[in-house]
Structure 1
Amino acid sequence: RLYAPDLPHLAQARFAVPLSAGGEGGAMLDQVIAWLTGDARHYSVALHGWTLTFDQLVILATPSGPNGISSLIQSLGRRLAARLQIGRVFAGRFRSTLVEPGAWVLPSLVWLETIPVRQGLAADAELWRWSSAPAHMGAAPAGALQDHMDYWRCGNTPFDRQANYRALVLEGLPGAKMAQIEQALYGQWALGGLAFVQGLAGISSRRPVAGKRGRPRKQPADRGRGADPHDSGASPI
């Protein structure tokens, strides 16, 4: 997993079988949120935002160690498997990306909290109670939410922060920005500018960006060898 200390991670886990949207659906989502917040405390994961829908869970969080989010997702999977009496809860492994503070935390938060709107589950983000959007907009208590500093910079008072953040959500993200978030999450590469990515080189658990495609360029000596059709590359006898 791509991990770096003291940085927010955007993580997405899709359910192999969507949770029921009727009757028991709301109660099940309530239970998953209760497990999420409790396990986040247990594994020392600071939750900055989350959205739970019938087909996926997306969180923005800062783990205290390299295995924090993995342990959190695994625990949720075990609990759901026992509750639903099924073997496979998630559709493959969860995806995650490192998020650059000061540039991509708020866009990532807007992106994840507006998932229910894009899915047609709610007319407004703050109306979907299985997410952190109501708390960020003043419609619900903060509860287990540990707001990132970027959210605090939205205003000097809770009312200012809620109003300014609501304006960001209503404005929405440009298509290019949404695509950049989704591409980083899908590829599990760092989400940020060049300086941010370069700064991860010595502290991240693996390479933070994709390598260049294609074969390495041949060196001059290699090109010379390739020009000789009689040279098979084998040692002379």
Structure 2
Amino acid sequence: MARLARLYAPNTPQLVQAYFVEALAGPNEATPVEPLDMLSGWLQHCAQEHHVAIHGWALLTDRLVFLATPAQRPGIARLMQAIGRRYATRLKTGRVFEGRYRSALVEPGKWVLPVLVWLDTQPVQHGHVDHAENWPWSSAAYHTGLNLKPNTWATDHADYWELGNTPFERQATFRDLLNESLSANRRQQIEKALFGQWALGDEAFLHNLAPIVSRRITPAKRGRPRKKANLAS
């Protein structure tokens, strides 16, 4: 089966996920602080270099996940290539990522905040910590105001700004969203779109997106195409 072309639409955020060929640490091993710190720095540097606005991120021992809006079509691909080169020279040799990275377009106004919650709770979902803010290599502490280090490189999405008129209001509201977490159905919708590399949004969003994207944005219907009726008399 031919590989799907990269899905892209102007000014539309993308959820991106890439697995490492080799995990940074096993399930019962100590947290690999130095490699995770390196990856965090590379994500920051490469995002700025390739003009990709990062809205949320989670670096786990086996994968890299983030939500971002690229200024240009090749921005995310170049970002991933740049991280891969640094990873290969500093942390390992040979292939870095397990296959191609996967991505899904995300509807602003409806799905950006759920995706950010999904992202920031990944360390909890995978058993790294009990509370999302306790994982230093995600945007959870940044979004909830618990990160004491100033962050000048992340770009808040407009949907995050709608959470309140002040940083304290936005942080408190997002903290409530994290505590509420997501329903199993919403998690499944996000993960299904990401795994299939489709667009995540309602019918109106998909309809408006279809003419401007780089390829088909939803799965094709199963089965053979219906035959056209024979109109010959």
Report TM bin, short chain: over 0.9
* Contact 1:45/1:62 (<8 A) preserved: yes
Any gaps of 5 or more consecutive residues in structure 2? 1-5
- Of 1, 26, 33, the residue aligned with 1:26 is 33
User: Counterparts in 2 of 1:138-157, with a 5 A limit?
Assistant: 138-140=145-147, 141-157=150-166
* Contact 2:198/2:219 (<8 A) preserved: yes
CA deviation vs aligned residue, 1:199-222 (integer Å, no higher than 9, x gap): 111211111111111111123339
- CA 1:63 to 1:11, structure 2 compared with 1: closer, same or farther past 3 Å? same
Q: Determine if the alignment matches structure 1 residue 191 to structure 2 residue 203.
A: no
- CA–CA distance in structure 1, aligned partners of residues 38 and 61 of structure 2: 13
User: Counterparts in 2 of 1:164-183, with a 5 A limit?
Assistant: 164-183=173-192
Q: Determine if the alignment matches structure 1 residue 91 to structure 2 residue 98.
A: yes
* Contact 2:35/2:91 (<8 A) preserved: no
TM-score (normalised: structure 1): 0.91
- CA–CA distance in structure 2, aligned partners of residues 24 and 8 of structure 1: 30
- Of 127, 134, 156, the residue aligned with 1:120 is 127
State the AA in 2 paired with 1:100: E
* Secondary structure class of the residue paired with 1:155: coil
CA deviation vs aligned residue, 1:171-204 (integer Å, no higher than 9, x gap): 0101100000000000000000001001111211
Q: Determine if the alignment matches structure 1 residue 50 to structure 2 residue 67.
A: no
- Report the counterpart of residue 226 of structure 2 in structure 1: 217
Moved more, 198-207 or 46-55: 198-207
- CA–CA distance in structure 2, aligned partners of residues 185 and 84 of structure 1: 27
Moved more, 183-192 or 197-206: 197-206
- CA–CA distance in structure 1, aligned partners of residues 143 and 165 of structure 2: 14
After superposing on structure 2, the runs of 4+ consecutive aligned residues of structure 1 that deviate more than 4 Å are 21-24
TM-score (normalised: structure 2): 0.92
Larger Rg: 1
* CA displacement at 1:107 relative to structure 2: 0.3
* CA displacement at 1:122 relative to structure 2: 0.8
Identity %: 53
- Of 4, 7, 12, the residue aligned with 1:2 is 7
Aligned residues: 223
Any gaps of 5 or more consecutive residues in structure 1? 223-237
